Structure 1
Amino acid sequence: MIKLIHQHSKKVYAVYKDREQLSGYSENLVKTFWKLAEDFPTEKIIWIEEAQQNNLNEKAFDDVFHHHLIMASCAIKSLYFSSDIGYVDQFPFANINLEVQYPTWLMSSDMGGIYASVVLKFKNEFQNISNFEYLLNAIAKLGQHHGLFCYHAPQLAIKIEKNLEYTATVVDLFSFAFQFYKKVRGIILLLCFIRYKKKYPLKSLIFSCLKTNFFSVEIDFSDITIQSSKASIDHSIDVVIPTIGRPKHLLNVLEDLKKQNFLPQKVIIVEQNPDKGTTSDFDFIIEDWPFEIQHIFTHQTGACNARNSALQRVTASWVFFCDDDNKFEANLLESAFSKIEKYGLEVLVTAYRTKQEVLLYKNPKQWGTFGAGNTIIKKACLKEVAFDLSFEYGYGEDMDFGMQLRNQGIDIVYHPEIEIVHLKAPMGGFRTKIIKPWEQKEPFPKPSPTVMRFIQKNYTRAQRRAYKIILWLKFYKVQDIKNPLKYRKSMQKRWETSKSWAQQISKKAI
């Protein structure tokens, strides 16, 4: 392990390899960072601010850096970007829960680490970056998109201050927006500053907009060997399937589960039928299956309620959230557990597409949402979470469930080699379109109240504000009001209506 001790992210204070101090390195922090990666390509490089040398919790490092494709830092007294980054980025990674190990590309120079072999992947692109804090965030932002696992890890430090200092300037923020996002995000950032901060940072915009953009740069980690030091011994798994009116498709899912090389322990089926007085027509459930089937029949519809009911009956160590119109190969569960062991995962999201769709994301990576129909998760992760009933019949329950997990310190990882085909089968014969109360009189809410509920619950104020501007700009092209003043007045009414309905449905939350 290499320790790079620096003074206020400006210059090198000392360099150690294990306990031996090394000499001959420049005081220039960034140059020394690159040089150490070249000199010790198999080592882990730890950066520490001089004042934090005795605050290092070395016992936690093996647990945090359990494989070679991990980058993590701990914000003890400072973080580079403030919540203003939410004007640019609406993903969960930009809204850190500082109390837990949280997946994020937002890095602090106070304390952190990365393997040298990973650092070298970025030298050709980033060797002209002179600001150490900017460089750390650049590596994490681009790296995470291509499969680097990045975290805020508070356990790296013994003590952490409650109030953080944010060191990035407005120019830094604009530069980062133009270099690591599509350029339109830099324009959105400007609009947010004008609208919400009453500031006009045109110089920052002009200075930044012509900088090199790294958004489309490819980083290849395929030659870095990954084998987590974490072990998961018990691979028993239960399957949760909510279903409504699609017996033939459900039977096909059960047949696919029956063919698995690694059989599930139990399949929990929640059959919903809103027609009072009806009974189940799933006769095939009583057949002889190589796993236990627990069948819940209910007249209460809704996937959130169905999944919550099923989770109460889970007894295995893992849970497979499966839809009733999935199709998968016989090695699905076996292959999934192989990746879980390799990466040391607690949550694995599979590739999930129709037969006609092209696979968009081809690298394993930290995932920004959650798949309620294609995820394998450790049961221990589910103690403090549930599907929020305020999202029932709407949109956002899986994204919200993912945010609940992240706020418990649980990472969600996607792997493209584990794949489920989503057949997107037609609705069952007795399904009827649910007319929501907000669809019955004008002004109709925009966005949907369930989306607004998700935004209010899981976005920072800056993220909410940016979302509002982006929504209004996008929607302007497809609606009939072309007078900007009338459009603004109309949209504000619809926005307020959405907020009012979101407040009402929040009362259903678990």
Structure 2
Amino acid sequence: MISLLHHKGIAMTRGYKGLPIVEAIYKCAQVNPDDYLLVHEKTADIDTFKNALPELHHQAYFFSNYNHTHEDFGYVEDGPFLNINKKVRYPTWLKGTAIVCIHAKLVTMTAITHASEKDYLYWLNSIGRLSRPLGVLNYQIPTAIQNEEFKEKDLYRFVKQHYKTRWVFILLLCHLWYEKRFPLSSFIKTLFYKRKVLNLKAEDLQSVVKYKDSEEFKYDVIIPTMGRPSYLKDVLLDFASQTILPQKIVIIEQNEEKNTSTQLDYLTTQSWPFNIAHDFIHQTGACNARNKAILQTSAIWVLFFDDDNRFDNDIMERVSIAIKSTDSKVLNLAYLQKGEVEIGTSFKQWESFGSGCSIVHREIVEGCRFDMALEYGYGEDVDYGMQIRQAGFDVIYAPQIQLLHLKAPVGGFRKPHVFPWHNDPIQPKPSPQIMYHRKKNYTAKQLLGYKMVQFFKTYGVFDTKLPWTHYKKYKQAWEQSEKWGTQL
């Protein structure tokens, strides 16, 4: 690892002294093409930072110290990367300037699009924002905590260059409506900026130098099921043909009718090459079923699965290899319906979490549970993913490892769940579960940005297209959602 010292954006290291730090980084990367660069302020605690780094066994990592950069990003970014836990290594593209760790190869890949940038804070966050969806794993380390913000003009420039153009208008509307200010100059200047695009092959960076030593790959499977015996049997047969067999499959069969019996006789009448734990319960709901199943697992890895998946016989062997090569504690597999195609080949940080297609480490299942407040509603899997990140782990998507999700037309709930607000004259919008999830997991300005976007998206759904009448009804529906979301 090559150390590069700077002070207030000017390099201080011999050979680069006096150069703007961005220019010094590119020159240093040319001289040291196979090394990680540690770029830091003179007073930064680099020992604590380095101790918090994982083993750098590939080149697709990009770290910095903690820095929120600008809270107004919440108006335009809807995702898990802004509500950062300052106490853990957190997956986010946001960057600080006190300490940065980036590979020289990644730096070189950005030369065409970013070498002319003079603002170090802008340069770091631009590369972070563009590289994350391509497969570069971005994190903040909880040390050298900064509150170094973009200037307002740079915030608008960043939104124009890194988001779709409509988000500049959303940002302006949020400033006008929520903050009663009109940054006209910053807005007008965005008209002269073109969107930035970063072309890099993450596969070249993700070529593993060495696998991290890890425990033997042993896994349990949890499957909630309801009224799909033939589909579930096919799933079990697919597991029985795996080159790496599960230790145990935990099946939670649900039927809300009290005087019923199991539909899964084949669990005992047929021989299986793994243990099966089967609970037949009369309480429906995926959150409850998964939580009950988790308590019956003991393997170091737990696979969250649905009862209508199909998959090749080597898929768990490929999962094992992917876990070693990514050094991840959570792997989300590609979950494709018939006719869908996934062409991605590089691992990437995932915005969500799939409760029917993910494998998680024992450390996580012992600390996270599916939130019962979201039972029968929406967002329990996204919420679980946020719990994972807040605990200091990351959700990695493996697009090249693919499951077929049949979306079985039988089974499932026999009648829709009736919520307490069902008969209210004013129906909540968004759903109280979504409101609950967003208040729990996102920043205050992310909620306000979502509120602004939903105002336009729901235009016309309240049987009126008169702007003020729509606003009045939308406000009432939002307040209803907040009321019931709080009660959840």
Q: Same fold (TM over 0.5)?
A: yes
Corresponding residue of 1:230: 212
- Match of residue 175, structure 2, among 179, 182, 193: 193
**Contact 1:385-1:404 within 8 A present in 2 as well:** yes
CA distance in 2, matches of 1:165, 1:254: 52
Are residue 93 (structure 1) and residue 81 (structure 2) matched? yes
Q: TM-score, normalised by structure 1?
A: 0.92
Deviation (angstroms), 1:80 = 6.1
The correspondence of residues 235-246 of structure 1 with structure 2, limited to 5 A, is 235-246=217-228
CA distance in 1, matches of 2:19, 2:12: 7
User: Match of 1:56, SS?
Assistant: helix
Deviation (angstroms), 1:362 = 4.9
Deviation (angstroms), 1:58 = 6.5
**Contact 1:65-1:71 within 8 A present in 2 as well:** no
Deviation (angstroms), 1:417 = 0.8
Aligned Cα RMSD in Å?
Answer: 1.7
Deviation (angstroms), 1:451 = 0.5
Are residue 401 (structure 1) and residue 384 (structure 2) matched? yes
Q: Which stretch shows the higher mean deviation, 66-75 or 408-417?
A: 66-75
Deviation (angstroms), 1:65 = 3.3
CA distance in 1, matches of 2:180, 2:46: 40
Deviation (angstroms), 1:131 = 0.5
Corresponding residue of 1:47: 39
**Contact 2:304-2:356 within 8 A present in 1 as well:** yes
Q: Taking structure 1 as reference, are residues 199 and 285 closer, same or farther at Cα in structure 2, changes over 3 Å only?
A: same
User: Match of 2:54, SS?
Assistant: helix
The correspondence of residues 348-427 of structure 1 with structure 2, limited to 5 A, is 348-359=331-342, 361-427=344-410
Deviation (angstroms), 1:38 = 1.2
CA distance in 2, matches of 1:400, 1:347: 14
Percent of matched pairs sharing the same residue: 37
Deviation digits for residues 412-461 of structure 1, max 9, x if unmatched? 00011111111000132872222323232321110011101101101101
**Contact 2:80-2:351 within 8 A present in 1 as well:** yes
User: Match of 2:12, SS?
Assistant: strand
User: Match of 2:407, SS?
Assistant: coil
CA distance in 2, matches of 1:64, 1:495: 46
Q: TM-score, normalised by structure 2?
A: 0.96
Question: Where in structure 1 are there 5+ consecutive unaligned residues?
Answer: 15-21, 506-510
**Contact 1:238-1:319 within 8 A present in 2 as well:** yes
Deviation (angstroms), 1:152 = 0.6
Are residue 119 (structure 1) and residue 107 (structure 2) matched? yes
Corresponding residue of 1:36: 28
Q: Taking structure 1 as reference, are residues 202 and 228 closer, same or farther at Cα in structure 2, changes over 3 Å only?
A: farther
**Contact 2:460-2:470 within 8 A present in 1 as well:** no
**Contact 1:106-1:140 within 8 A present in 2 as well:** yes
**Contact 1:253-1:324 within 8 A present in 2 as well:** yes
CA distance in 2, matches of 1:419, 1:228: 25
**Contact 1:320-1:376 within 8 A present in 2 as well:** yes
- Match of residue 279, structure 1, among 237, 251, 261: 261
User: Match of 1:250, SS?
Assistant: helix
**Contact 2:49-2:65 within 8 A present in 1 as well:** no
The correspondence of residues 335-354 of structure 1 with structure 2, limited to 5 A, is 335-354=318-337
Corresponding residue of 2:96: 108
User: Partner amino acid for 2:452?
Assistant: I
Deviation (angstroms), 1:218 = 3.4
Q: Which stretch shows the higher mean deviation, 29-38 or 407-416?
A: 29-38
- Match of residue 74, structure 1, among 65, 88, 95: 65
**Contact 2:96-2:148 within 8 A present in 1 as well:** no
**Contact 1:30-1:130 within 8 A present in 2 as well:** yes
Question: Where in structure 2 are there 5+ consecutive unaligned residues?
Answer: none
Q: Taking structure 1 as reference, are residues 49 and 4 closer, same or farther at Cα in structure 2, changes over 3 Å only?
A: same
Corresponding residue of 1:7: 7
CA distance in 2, matches of 1:58, 1:448: 41
Corresponding residue of 2:485: 502
- Match of residue 265, structure 1, among 241, 247, 259: 247
Corresponding residue of 2:148: 166
CA distance in 1, matches of 2:441, 2:413: 35
Q: Which stretch shows the higher mean deviation, 224-233 or 182-191?
A: 224-233
CA distance in 1, matches of 2:154, 2:15: 32
CA distance in 1, matches of 2:462, 2:209: 52
User: Match of 1:109, SS?
Assistant: coil
Deviation (angstroms), 1:346 = 0.5
User: Partner amino acid for 1:265?
Assistant: Q
Deviation (angstroms), 1:221 = 2.1
CA distance in 2, matches of 1:428, 1:62: 46
Corresponding residue of 1:142: 130
Q: Which stretch shows the higher mean deviation, 446-455 or 205-214?
A: 205-214
User: Match of 2:227, SS?
Assistant: coil
Deviation (angstroms), 1:217 = 4.2
Deviation digits for residues 175-225 of structure 1, max 9, x if unmatched? 1101111111111111111111111011111112331202x5432122232
User: Partner amino acid for 1:4?
Assistant: L
**Contact 1:67-1:229 within 8 A present in 2 as well:** no
Corresponding residue of 1:247: 229
Deviation digits for residues 462-489 of structure 1, max 9, x if unmatched? 1000000001111115553111111001
CA distance in 1, matches of 2:210, 2:466: 58
User: Match of 1:222, SS?
Assistant: helix
**Contact 1:241-1:322 within 8 A present in 2 as well:** yes
**Contact 1:81-1:173 within 8 A present in 2 as well:** no
User: Match of 2:110, SS?
Assistant: helix
**Contact 1:80-1:106 within 8 A present in 2 as well:** yes
Corresponding residue of 2:447: 464
Deviation (angstroms), 1:55 = 4.8
CA distance in 1, matches of 2:49, 2:88: 17
Deviation digits for residues 228-266 of structure 1, max 9, x if unmatched? 653222211000000001101000100110110110000
- Match of residue 54, structure 2, among 58, 63, 68: 63
**Contact 2:12-2:18 within 8 A present in 1 as well:** no
User: Match of 2:204, SS?
Assistant: coil
CA distance in 1, matches of 2:16, 2:353: 48
User: Partner amino acid for 1:382?
Assistant: V
Deviation (angstroms), 1:25 = 5.1
Deviation (angstroms), 1:66 = 4.1
User: Partner amino acid for 1:57?
Assistant: T
Q: Taking structure 1 as reference, are residues 128 and 117 closer, same or farther at Cα in structure 2, changes over 3 Å only?
A: same
Deviation (angstroms), 1:303 = 0.2
